[in-house]
Structure 1
Amino acid sequence: MYLDKFKLTGKVAVVTGAARGIGLATVEALAEAGAAIVVITDMNADLLRGAVGAMTAKGYRVEGELLDVTDAKAVQRVHDAIVERHGRVDVLVNNAGIAISNHPAETMVDEVWNKVIDVNLNGLFWCCRTFGKGMLERGAGAIVNVGSMSGFIVNRPQEQANYNASKAAVHHLTRSLAAEWGARGVRVNAVAPTYIETEMNAYVYDDAEMYRHWVGGTPMNRMGKVDEVASVILFLASEAASLMTGSIVLADGGYACW
């Protein structure tokens, strides 16, 4: 009874920004849980082809779609194409995101602020709005947004007011959509990870001071791994989390405790 709740048998899932890192780990988690198809979206064509090939080689049913989430019309086109092929989308994971750090607020230029907000907040909303509308029409669906512990704390030593603000907004957007859509069958939750071992964060190993702050500020005394975040996403996407909506689940190794 209980283990079955974690399965996604027959579900159609979409993961944005999924050609590597947390996104690709999430694709594998959803596919392993029995999803009928997982659509990998990314704006990098080469990475997308590689991700589809890697997952297909493991025996998972996946497809690829080029998508820049900041383009609302492109989001609609991709949604419509997936629905035309598969009839619906049951699970949406909004993973696409960027960070541009080490820009003090007083000298941050408009371009740096806008780029992060456009991807992390606007793009995520375009996807929630478009895919969520289809879910509401069917009266069922699960959306999982990838937020960050940076929506709860202010990171150090890097200055990144743009990123922190975008992720705090993602968390409250998650709650807002959950409140609007909960009675209509669509659950919306978020995961808020700590620093994760990904290509985007690899630079920290060359910066002793930053690494000391990142790991030294974490009670578990380590960075997280992509599969650890993907596991939380799988839980939130599944019926095991059927009573949860509007939840922001910290997966931060205890970082926010201090």
Structure 2
Amino acid sequence: MAPAHSNGIAVDSIHATGNPDTPVEVVTDLLAQALEAKDSEAIKDLVKQAHDVMAGLDPYLEAVSSKPSQACSELIHRSLTHDWTQAFKQQKTQFHQKKECCAGALEGSFLKSLIRLTSAKTVLEVGMFTGTSTLAMAEALPEDGKVYALEIEPYLQQFAQPAFEAAGLAERIEVVLGPAEESIKELARRGVRFDVAFLDADKGGYLAYYKKLMDLQLINPGGIIVVDNSLMKGRVYAPGRMADELADAIREFNQFVIRDQRVEVVALPFRDGVNIVQRKRVAGDVVNTGLHNNLLLQRLKLTNKVALVTGAGQGIGRAFAHALGEAGASVAVVDVNKDKAAEVAGELADKGIRAVAVYADVTQKADCKRMVETVVQQLGGLHIGVNNAGINKNAAAEDTTEADWDLTFDINTKGVFLCCQEEGKHMLAQGYGKIINTASMATLLVPHPQKQIAYNASKAAVVKITQTLGAEWADRGLNVNCISPGIVNTALIQESKDLQPLVGEWLTQIPAGRLAEVTDLQAAIVYLASDASNYMVGHNLVIDGGQSIW
């Protein structure tokens, strides 16, 4: 039976298998043997074994964990060697800070990993001290992410700020000075919400901070609250403890959270204890729970899907391949240029994305058939086909050659149809698939001042192919849609002596005031490839900065 300790929480003291497993269980078993041993040498040997297990734990964990960045290492060193006693005597700090409060390398790496695992963009840190944990978390954020670090000591902000600036991360860190509870209220008034909140300040304030974060709905859906020092050096649960205000505060906090029906919590024996708290999934209808219990962002994931992208060796196709891979798909990089296809496949592999390079000339039916067969054989299936390969031969209508017309239609129109046909055969047989064709905003207007009749006509045909196949295949589990980019700032424009002089005039035609970047198209391709777009059929999704509405 599990004994009930004075903290009111029942605790099992023996591993489920009856044998010691974790380092703590091993040490507990060794000490239990020592308590029962009669021979002093036996006792000494058992205690030494226990000592060696625990003494080696933290050094070993640090040895097998990735090292912190140079910026973090330098700030940790400065914090550990700074004369905090002198700073307190000189009344630079309100409290006598201790170097032991500095977040170490392992703790910083742990927090950095949490930020990456949660894909966090906004982080709250309650309890800054010297900023080492702040810096580690900021390193894991995207450029437009931010850590809001709550600090009551102006001197500590001054101490850490040069390190933030030297690391080039000052823009990702906002230090909010003042009492933490008031700072949380102020951030709430500003409309700031958090993906991760890290509590590591005065232990007596934990409960108040937690209540504010929960009651004011300051944690984004899927976000977490990370609580440091939740074991308080074992004083929260060890029997025979002395009266301890800090341990009492942590004990009260732990008991409140475990009884809070809004959340689930896991307590980890990492360092001095870390609790990870997350809201429970709610019950209700499909809008409340999400389709198949998937929150919206989960519905955009392409886990266990296989995609192929033609013309993926550069430009828009390369960006599509990266986007689909980042969303979870395995990706076949298809191009008529073998070297470029291999290069992009290598880029994906470096990011941990399963990828293969496939050669295909989309104007040849045999190549399109072999392309699909190769992808299925090498990646285990095909669920997403992005038919992006295309060319543009600029010429006035009266000067357009028959050869250029035929080549443009062969690649842009016939190539799209042949790919759709071969992809469709496989997807119809499995009862599921997503096909996305690259059209153009030229299907909605006549781009100018450049002359490109063959391109405009070929892309208009792509839209009609998309609509026709969408109508034919929608009731058989296959969605066919297309995406129409505006003028995209690719190497085609950047390196063209004919097109580069036209950029200024194009910009006057675009309400957004800029050309599209390939990254402007990535979210759209993921949406069209995901189950979030299951009811979109034969649609031409236009992303042109507003050019087609002027």
Compute the TM-score of the two structures, normalised by the length of structure 2: 0.45
Instruction: Output one character per residue of 1:181-201: Cα deviation in whole Å (capped at 9) or x when no partner.
Output: 000000001110000011112
Name which of 377, 394, 398 aligns with 1:106. Answer: 398
Secondary structure at the residue paired with 1:15?
Answer: strand
TM-fit CA distance, 1:227: 1.3
- Which residue pairs with 1:146 in the alignment? 438
- 1:41 and 2:41 correspond: no
Whether contact under 8 Å (1:15, 1:27) holds in the other structure is yes
- Which residue pairs with 1:197 in the alignment? 489
Inter-partner Cα distance in structure 2 for 1:213 and 1:184: 45
Inter-partner Cα distance in structure 1 for 2:525 and 2:457: 22
Inter-partner Cα distance in structure 2 for 1:166 and 1:149: 12
1:112-127 to 2 correspondences below 5 Å = 112-127=404-419
Inter-partner Cα distance in structure 2 for 1:230 and 1:156: 26
Name which of 224, 234, 238 aligns with 2:530. Answer: 238
Instruction: Output one character per residue of 1:80-126: Cα deviation in whole Å (capped at 9) or x when no partner.
Output: 1222234421000011011111x111121100111111000000100
Name which of 468, 493, 497 aligns with 1:176. Answer: 468
- Which residue pairs with 2:348 in the alignment? 55
Inter-partner Cα distance in structure 1 for 2:388 and 2:471: 21
1:209-248 to 2 correspondences below 5 Å = 210-248=502-540
Name which of 280, 297, 302 aligns with 1:3. Answer: 297
Inter-partner Cα distance in structure 2 for 1:187 and 1:137: 14
1:18-37 to 2 correspondences below 5 Å = 18-35=312-329, 37=330
Instruction: Tell me the amino acid that sits aligned with residue 113 of structure 1.
Output: W
- Which residue pairs with 1:82 in the alignment? 375
- Which residue pairs with 2:358 in the alignment? 65
Inter-partner Cα distance in structure 2 for 1:208 and 1:200: 9
Instruction: Tell me the amino acid that sits aligned with residue 170 of structure 1.
Output: V
TM-fit CA distance, 1:207: 5.4
Whether contact under 8 Å (1:26, 1:231) holds in the other structure is no
Whether contact under 8 Å (1:204, 1:210) holds in the other structure is no
Inter-partner Cα distance in structure 1 for 2:522 and 2:407: 26
Whether contact under 8 Å (2:338, 2:357) holds in the other structure is no
Instruction: Tell me the amino acid that sits aligned with residue 311 of structure 2.
Output: G
Instruction: Tell me the amino acid that sits aligned with residue 221 of structure 1.
Output: G
Secondary structure at the residue paired with 1:7?
Answer: coil
TM-fit CA distance, 1:203: 4.3
Identify if the C-alpha distance between structure 1 residues 208 and 180 changes in structure 2 by more than 3 Å, giving closer, same or farther: closer
Inter-partner Cα distance in structure 1 for 2:505 and 2:402: 28
Inter-partner Cα distance in structure 1 for 2:449 and 2:368: 35
Instruction: Tell me the amino acid that sits aligned with residue 328 of structure 2.
Output: G
Inter-partner Cα distance in structure 2 for 1:31 and 1:209: 35
Secondary structure at the residue paired with 1:69?
Answer: coil
Instruction: Tell me the amino acid that sits aligned with residue 149 of structure 1.
Output: M
Inter-partner Cα distance in structure 2 for 1:188 and 1:78: 19
TM-fit CA distance, 1:209: 5.2
Structure 1's consecutive aligned runs of 4 or more residues displaced over 4 angstroms after TM superposition are 203-209
Inter-partner Cα distance in structure 2 for 1:144 and 1:105: 29
TM-fit CA distance, 1:233: 0.9
Inter-partner Cα distance in structure 2 for 1:86 and 1:157: 44
Secondary structure at the residue paired with 1:223?
Answer: coil
Instruction: Tell me the amino acid that sits aligned with residue 172 of structure 1.
Output: K
Secondary structure at the residue paired with 1:231?
Answer: helix
Inter-partner Cα distance in structure 2 for 1:80 and 1:163: 30
Q: Which has the higher contact order (CA 8 A, sep 6+)?
A: 1
Whether contact under 8 Å (2:342, 2:356) holds in the other structure is no
Which protein is bigger by CA-based radius of gyration?
A: 2
Whether contact under 8 Å (2:493, 2:499) holds in the other structure is no
Whether contact under 8 Å (1:19, 1:50) holds in the other structure is yes
- 1:132 and 2:430 correspond: no
TM-fit CA distance, 1:55: 1.7
Instruction: Tell me the amino acid that sits aligned with residue 20 of structure 1.
Output: Q
Instruction: Tell me the amino acid that sits aligned with residue 89 of structure 1.
Output: L
TM-fit CA distance, 1:205: 7.6
CA RMSD, Structure 1 to Structure 2 (Å): 1.4
Inter-partner Cα distance in structure 2 for 1:85 and 1:6: 24
Number of matched pairs = 256
Secondary structure at the residue paired with 1:177?
Answer: helix
Whether contact under 8 Å (1:205, 1:211) holds in the other structure is no
Whether contact under 8 Å (1:178, 1:187) holds in the other structure is yes
Whether contact under 8 Å (2:313, 2:335) holds in the other structure is yes
Instruction: Tell me the amino acid that sits aligned with residue 312 of structure 2.
Output: A
Secondary structure at the residue paired with 2:366?
Answer: helix
Inter-partner Cα distance in structure 1 for 2:539 and 2:497: 32
Moved more, 51-60 or 135-144: 51-60
TM-fit CA distance, 1:206: 6.8
Identify if the C-alpha distance between structure 1 residues 110 and 225 changes in structure 2 by more than 3 Å, giving closer, same or farther: same
TM-fit CA distance, 1:60: 1.5
